[in-house]
Amino acid sequence: MKTIWQQYDHKLNNLVKLNKKLVMESLLKKPQSKLNRMKFQSIYGIIVGPIVLIIVLHPFLKIDNLDWKLIVGCILSVAVLIFLAYINLSSFKALKEINLSEDPVIKSVSKVNDYKRIINRNPGYLWISSLMLFIGIILIAWRAFTFDTRTILYMAGLLVFTIAFGMKKRNIQQQKIAQLEKEILDLKEYEE
């Protein structure tokens, strides 16, 4: 009777372990999907920024327009693109380090915090980079503008919209990171 009881106890323990493993695998899908999406967005940010600027500004990048405004505008724009590529590459590397299926939950959360630190760097960078890019684009396309009241108001509105959009995007990104942390922490009870 005792051996039968031990066999059933062993089978029950195996079933509990199997059940925890299946639940863990099921619960891992959602955070892993978010991680993959965040990785894609980081790579997308590195590639799309320069492509969009080149497409938009290519009519102004001519030898005929070569003067100090074009050179300074290109330097400012390229500096911002390099900075944004650095941030996106750093965040991609931090996200790539997160391995939900193999790392313990606490280690995964620690790695998510590393990613969060990269994203939450001084918010002044948002203002400075947006302003530098805006000034760079204006300097590159200087000859295409007629500076009257309407154009100046339009540009000021566009700058405010760009900064507000960047702040909103940053807030959404912080919410997604917090949600990812919560989902990873929810895995703690199913961890062996």
Interval 2-27 mean pLDDT: 76
Per-residue pLDDT at 192 exceeds 70: no
The fraction of the chain above a pLDDT of 70, given in percent, is 95
Q: Grade residue 100 by pLDDT with cuts at 50, 70 and 90.
A: confident
pTM of the prediction? 0.76
- Sort residue 50 into left (φ over 0), alpha (ψ -120 to 50) or beta: alpha
Minimum mean pLDDT among 16-25, 46-55, 158-167, 180-189: which range? 16-25
Average pLDDT, the chain: 83
Taking CA atoms, 128 is separated from 13, 76, 83, 114, 162, in Å, by 58, 11, 11, 23, 12
Q: Grade residue 79 by pLDDT with cuts at 50, 70 and 90.
A: very high
Per-residue pLDDT at 39 exceeds 80: yes
